[in-house]
Amino acid sequence: MHRTEIITLLRQAPDDVEAACRGLSNDQLRRPPQAEGEWSLLEIVCHLRDSAAEEGLRVRRLVEDDNPTLVSYDQDAWAVERNYQGEDPQKALTGLRAFLAGLAYQLEHLPDEAWERSGVHPESGPVTVRSRAEMEVEHARAHLAQMLDVRAAVA
Ligand code: NI
C-alpha cells in the first residue's frame, strides 16, 4: 500500500465508524450481540481509539529507538479495566477521530526512510513503521465489518 493511501484510509476510518453507529441509541450502542463475549459497538469504538493511540506510541518507538521490542497489550482486559461500556459514545467517537487523525498526521510527517524503521512485535515478530501502518488500516477495516454485523444484531 502506498503511504498516501494508508494515510487517506486512516483519515477516512472515523467517518465509516461513525456511519456504523449513526441513528442508534446509547442503549443499542452498548448492547452486546448474541454471541458470548462479543463486544458492543461502543466497546469496538473504544478499542479502535485505544489501538490508534497505542500505534502512535509504537511508531514513535520504532522511529526513535534502535530495533525496539514493542509492548503488547491485552485488549479484553483493557475493555474491562477502562470500562469501555461506561463511556459516553459521542466522546468515544471524538476520541477515535482525534487519535486516528493524530496517527495519520504523525505518519504523514515522517521522512520516507523512517517508514522502513524496524522493530519486533512480541507476538507477530519483525515489523516496520510501514507494516504497522498497514496493519492499522487492516485492523480498522476488519472491525468495521464486525461493526456492521453487530449493528444488524442490535438495531
Ligand atoms: Ni482489534
Q: What is the pLDDT of residues 7-29, one digit of tens each?
A: 999 999 999 999 999 999 999 99
128 close to 117: Cβ distance less than 8 angstroms: yes
The answer, yes or no, to whether residue 35 has pLDDT greater than 80, is: no
Distance CA 118, CA 7 (A): 19
Q: Tell me, in angstroms, the distance from the centre of ligand 1 to residue 61's CA.
A: 21
The answer, yes or no, to whether residue 83 has pLDDT greater than 90, is: yes
Q: Which domains are seen in the chain, by residue range?
A: 3-154 (1.20.120.450)
**Cβ-based neighbours of 16, under 8 Å, separated by 6 or more:** 140, 144
The answer, yes or no, to whether residue 36 has pLDDT greater than 80, is: no
Percent of the chain at pLDDT exceeding 70: 100
Q: Tell me, in angstroms, the distance from the centre of ligand 1 to residue 132's CA.
A: 13
Q: What is the pLDDT of residues 85-121, one digit of tens each?
A: 999 999 999 999 999 999 999 999 999 999 999 999 9
Q: Tell me, in angstroms, the distance from the centre of ligand 1 to residue 35's CA.
A: 17
